[in-house]
Amino acid sequence: MILGPKDYKNILINYSSSLNQLRDWGINIPETSRLVKYQDTFESITEGSVPSDFETLVQISFIIKEIDEITKIVNSIEQNPNSATIDKLNHLKKDTLIQHQNNTNIEARNTQFELYLRYQIINSGMKCSIGNPDLKVSFDEYEIEIEAKRPNHNGLDFNLRKGLKQLSPEKPGILVFSLDHLLFRDNDFILLDNDEMEENGMDFLQQKVDEWSYKNRPSILRRASAKKSAIGMMFHARVPILKKNNLNFITIGSFKKMVPFYHPETPSYIKTKTFFDNFKLKI
């Protein structure tokens, strides 16, 4: 993805419109909120143009990813959101930190991942509503409940236990985990050589997800087998991809990986695989 001056201006215009839409829905966004800080920082650093050096590009790459998610979340919300949606949007504004180097408070970005996942599901042609568990999805002849988590670097086991508890053995669902904090920190990115293509960055991201999945799969399967409330798990990762010698180049690498908890040809496996096949990553 090549971003020129007009692109940076459009990013800011669209994000500003999203914040105004949140306010129109009654979401009171304080000046200390990370949502406002994203806007102010992005505007002051870029001044509506391409960054002048690589360090600046790195600084705003995380913010571009955040702005992209929040803008798409707001655009995917119905014009008159219900009370459950308003509650989630109120969570979205929380936290005063732009980045979470210490990963101490990620409640707001946990909700952000949940709502961004909803956007991706809807954009994949499936129906999705907010509830408890987090999301209820309808596709083909199936209906499935989803718990979405964005654990920090040492929060895998806690979030796995919590997610399995929130799903019901009577109606097993799917866990979806963002690996953003588990694979990378907020200021991390994938750096390409100038002659490399975007696909090289995607291959590296896939390798990282596969390695993490291979390492953690046994413990995940043990927990899931004991609880019997989930039929599968999907891993989801998004990270900026940059080129040091091309300040116009920035894209967001996305990758998904499904881990079914049941054997092939069983109804639970087919349901899990059908959801995974229907789910499309939108950059």
Instruction: Place 130 in a pLDDT band, splitting at 50, 70 and 90.
Output: very high
Question: How many CB atoms sit inside 10 A of residue 96's CB?
Answer: 13
Please list, in sequence order, all residues whose beta carbon lies within 8 angstroms of the beta carbon of residue 31, skipping any fewer than 6 positions away.
none
For 123-144, give one letter per residue: b (16+ CB within 10 A) or e: bbebebebeebbbbbebeeeeb
Dihedral sign, Cα of residue 156, residue 174, residue 135, residue 240 = positive
d(CA 11, CA 272): 35
pTM for this structure? 0.92
Is residue 225 within 8 Å of residue 263, measured between CB atoms?
Answer: no
Q: For residue 100, is pLDDT > 60?
A: no
Which residue, among 213, 196, 225, 195, has the nearest Cα to 255 in the 3D structure?
A: 213
The pLDDT, as a whole number, for residue 7 is 81
d(CA 114, CA 148): 5
Instruction: Place 43 in a pLDDT band, splitting at 50, 70 and 90.
Output: confident
Q: Residue 102: CA atoms inside 13 Å, Cβ hemisphere, count?
A: 3
d(CA 105, CA 202): 29
Considering the chain, what is the average pLDDT of its residues? 88
Top-confidence range, 18-27, 151-160, 200-209: 18-27
- Where is average pLDDT lowest: 80-89, 179-188, 245-254? 179-188
The predicted model gives 85-100 an average pLDDT of 81
For 37-67, give one letter per residue: b (16+ CB within 10 A) or e: bbbeebeebbeeebbeeeeebbbbbbbbbbb
Task: Tell me whether residue 1 is exposed, middle or buried, using C-beta atoms within 10 angstroms of its C-beta: 0 to 12, 13 to 18, 19 or more.
Answer: exposed
